[in-house]
């Protein structure tokens, strides 16, 4: 989907902060029951910086489902509700007057890393005016080059935006907003699990220059890389309508055929159309595996007792090398290390949405695990043990470490995906099956 708006970048206007404050008051009156904070983001929030003359507001809210019930009030203020509009776990509203875009309202649930990224981006450019001027010059150039093509304008900024994301990642921000206790239905757990997994698959794309989102496709996430490895070339979160789906699927498959890269297409709960799996088979993909979505209440995880392992949260390049070593020995991708050399440690680490751990035995890395704190649940990923140390319970000890972190941060539900064989192990630990994730693949 391509926007048909004129691309216009103008010099800084002193009234922009006032326009933000006035609009923020109006919005707050409508969504005050779910609102935590309203932020002025984007280039209009940076004094002296040229920008598109549209005020961007970011609403940090308690719960998106509760916000949806208040959308009618925003409509009365002149906003059009566009749903996620290509970014899962977001609500996007726009306010146009006589064909001119006056305000964009981006709404995220507390804990979403996009909130921190937007704020850090703004604060970095405020503190580095020379970078702000350089970025503004790029935007002016792109606006002149693509005055009627918002897609190409946005695409042209991608490399610079990633560089600023990396430079700003370590700016300290206030501590996370504590979670409020809630009762979960299984349907809510399935949705949270899918959203948590989505973050695990896409968060680093914002930072790593060799991972690229193919932005032509708004209703499905397509990620490619320079590495011929399906771990880093994949498709997920398909929200396609039945009429356009066959054409879109064919276009995406052709992207990877042209690259001659193997890729994975994941089908998750909530994907559409209902016959997407058959469409993928018809386009020449093959079925790879089926994983069970499983969950457990954190308080019910069985205690494992003492362990000979020493756990460290990844915070140095050596940690990354150790993490990579375990995964290579375990049969996972060998491309983690060159990719994550580009990753700023502020993009993950203790206290962030993504914590990676290495377990050491006698100072040697033997097991890994990733905890993703998002959508109200803690997702467990990449629990892998080197072959020579298996059947000693080290994977379970890593699981217990991650579960303890969930409890420390106030999370009550843990989720994971298990293969058919692994399902029985996790059932023994108390996990329950609630949904299915499928993987399809293509090889050149």
Lowest mean pLDDT among 57-61, 292-296, 303-307, 389-393: 303-307
Dump pLDDT digits (tens) for 295-349.
999 999 998 788 999 999 998 889 988 998 998 898 876 666 667 777 787 888 8
Domain boundary residue, one of 168, 192, 226:
168
Same domain, 96 and 197: no
Residue 1 has pLDDT above 50, yes or no: no
CA-based nearest residue to 442, from 277, 265, 262, 223 = 262
Same domain, 302 and 239: yes
pLDDT at position 303 is 86
Task: Report d(CA 129, CA 248) in Å as an integer.
Answer: 42
Same domain, 206 and 253: yes
Band of residue 2 on the pLDDT scale cut at 50, 70, 90: very low
Q: Based on the number of CB atoms within 10 Å of its own CB, is 172 exposed (0-12), middle (13-18) or buried (19 or more)?
A: exposed
In order of 22, 48, 210, 220, 438, the CA distances from 19 in angstroms are 5, 16, 38, 34, 47
In order of 5, 14, 79, 113, the CA distances from 40 in angstroms are 22, 14, 17, 16
Kindly state whether residue 424 falls inside one of the protein's structural domains.
Answer: yes
Kindly state whether residue 99 falls inside one of the protein's structural domains.
Answer: yes
Strands (E), 298-363: 310-313, 354-361
Angle (nearest 5°) at CA 36 between 32 and 39:
100
Residue 435, phi then psi, degrees to nearest 5: -165, 180
For the domain that residue 71 is a member of, what is the CATH number?
3.30.460.10
Task: Report d(CA 69, CA 83) in Å as an integer.
Answer: 13
Kindly state whether residue 2 falls inside one of the protein's structural domains.
Answer: no
Band of residue 108 on the pLDDT scale cut at 50, 70, 90: very high
CA-based nearest residue to 295, from 393, 203, 429 = 429
Residue 19 has pLDDT above 50, yes or no: yes
Q: What's the whole-number mean pLDDT along residues 179-186?
A: 85
Cβ contact 197:418 at 8 Å: no
Share of the chain above pLDDT 90, in %: 77
Same domain, 295 and 427: yes
DSSP 3-state of 193: helix
Task: Report d(CA 214, CA 301) in Å as an integer.
Answer: 40
pLDDT at position 87 is 86
Dump pLDDT digits (tens) for 157-177.
999 999 999 999 988 876 666
Same domain, 434 and 319: yes
CA-based nearest residue to 356, from 318, 314, 320 = 314
Task: Report d(CA 270, CA 254) in Å as an integer.
Answer: 24
Residue 79 has pLDDT above 60, yes or no: yes
pLDDT at position 5 is 75
Task: Report d(CA 38, CA 30) in Å as an integer.
Answer: 13
Q: Which helix (H) or strand (E) holds 163?
A: helix 150-168
pLDDT at position 304 is 79
Kindly state whether residue 173 falls inside one of the protein's structural domains.
Answer: no
Same domain, 147 and 191: no
CA-based nearest residue to 117, from 346, 371, 289 = 346
Q: What's the whole-number mean pLDDT along residues 113-121?
A: 94
What are the tokens at 246? 């066959």
Kindly state whether residue 3 falls inside one of the protein's structural domains.
Answer: no
Dump pLDDT digits (tens) for 226-242.
888 898 999 999 999 99
pLDDT at position 176 is 67
Q: Any idea what DSSP says for residue 389?
A: G
CA-based nearest residue to 59, from 47, 44, 71 = 71
Kindly state whether residue 10 falls inside one of the protein's structural domains.
Answer: no
Q: What's the whole-number mean pLDDT along residues 255-284?
A: 96
Same domain, 161 and 183: no
Residue 99 has pLDDT above 50, yes or no: yes
Same domain, 344 and 418: yes
Dump pLDDT digits (tens) for 350-380.
988 999 999 999 999 999 999 999 999 999 9
DSSP 3-state of 55: strand
Q: Which residues on adjacent β-strands are paired with residue 381?
A: 370
pLDDT at position 333 is 63
Domain extent, residue 22, equals 16-168
Spatial neighbors of 90 by CB under 8 A, at least 6 apart, are 84, 106, 107, 108, 112, 114
Kindly state whether residue 4 falls inside one of the protein's structural domains.
Answer: no
Cβ contact 357:399 at 8 Å: no
As a 3-state breakdown, the chain gives helix, strand, coil percent values, each rounded to 5, of: 40, 25, 35
Domain boundary residue, one of 141, 168, 195:
168
Q: Which helix (H) or strand (E) holds 322?
A: helix 317-329
Would the pTM of this model clear 0.85, i.e. be above it? yes
Length of the chain equals 444
Same domain, 305 and 413: yes
Residue 143, phi then psi, degrees to nearest 5: -65, -35
Task: Report d(CA 263, CA 274) in Å as an integer.
Answer: 21
As for how many domains the chain has, the answer is: 2
Dump pLDDT digits (tens) for 184-206.
999 999 999 999 999 999 998 98
Cα radius of gyration (the chain): 22
Kindly state whether residue 7 falls inside one of the protein's structural domains.
Answer: no
Domain boundary residue, one of 115, 141, 168:
168
To which residue do tokens 């159309």 refer? 273
For the domain that residue 340 is a member of, what is the CATH number?
3.40.630.30
Same domain, 117 and 138: yes
């Amino acid at each position: 989907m391509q926007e048909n708006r004129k691309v216009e970048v103008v010099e800084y206007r002193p009234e922009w902060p006032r326009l933000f404050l006035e609009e923020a008051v109006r919005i707050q009156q409508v969504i005050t029951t779910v609102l935590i904070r309203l932020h002025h983001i984007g280039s209009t929030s940076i004094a002296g910086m040229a920008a598109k003359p549209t005020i961007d507001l970011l609403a940090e809210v308690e719960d998106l489902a509760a916000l949806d019930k208040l959308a009618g009030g925003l409509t009365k203020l002149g906003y059009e509700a566009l749903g996620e509009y290509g970014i899962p776990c977001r609500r996007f509203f726009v306010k146009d007057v006589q064909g001119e875009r006056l305000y964009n309202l981006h709404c995220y649930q507390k804990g979403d890393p996009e909130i921190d990224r937007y704020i850090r981006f703004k604060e970095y450019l405020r503190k580095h005016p020379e970078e702000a001027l350089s970025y503004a010059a790029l935007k002016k150039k792109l606006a002149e080059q693509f005055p009627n093509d918002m897609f190409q304008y946005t695409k042209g900024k991608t490399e610079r935006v990633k560089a600023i994301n990396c430079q700003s990642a370590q700016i300290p921000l206030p501590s996370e907003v504590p979670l409020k206790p809630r009762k979960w239905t299984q349907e809510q757990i399935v949705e949270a699990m899918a959203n948590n997994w989505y973050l695990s698959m896409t968060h680093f794309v914002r930072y790593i220059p060799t991972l690229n989102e193919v932005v032509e496709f708004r209703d499905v996430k397509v990620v490619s890389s320079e590495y011929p490895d399906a771990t880093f070339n994949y498709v997920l979160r398909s929200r396609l309508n039945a009429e356009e789906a066959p054409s879109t699927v064919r276009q995406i498959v052709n992207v990877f055929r042209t690259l001659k890269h193997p890729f994975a297409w994941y089908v998750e709960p909530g994907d559409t159309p209902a016959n997407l799996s058959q469409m993928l088979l018809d386009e020449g993909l093959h079925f790879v595996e089926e994983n069970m979505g499983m969950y457990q209440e954190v308080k019910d995880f069985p205690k494992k007792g003492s362990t000979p392992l020493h756990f460290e949260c990844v915070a140095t390049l050596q940690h990354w090398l150790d993490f990579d070593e375990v995964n290579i020995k375990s049969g996972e991708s060998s491309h983690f290390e060159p990719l994550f050399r580009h990753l700023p440690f502020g993009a993950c680490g203790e206290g962030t949405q993504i914590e990676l751990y290495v377990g050491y035995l006698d100072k040697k890395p033997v097991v890994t695990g990733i905890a993703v704190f998002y959508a109200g649940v803690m997702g467990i990923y990449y629990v892998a043990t080197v072959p020579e140390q298996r059947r000693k319970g080290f994977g379970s000890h890593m699981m217990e470490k991650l579960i303890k972190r969930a409890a420390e941060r106030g999370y009550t539900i843990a989720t994971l995906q298990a293969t058919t064989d692994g399902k029985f192990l996790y059932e023994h630990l108390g996990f329950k099956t609630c949904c299915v994730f499928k993987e399809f693949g293509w090889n050149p």
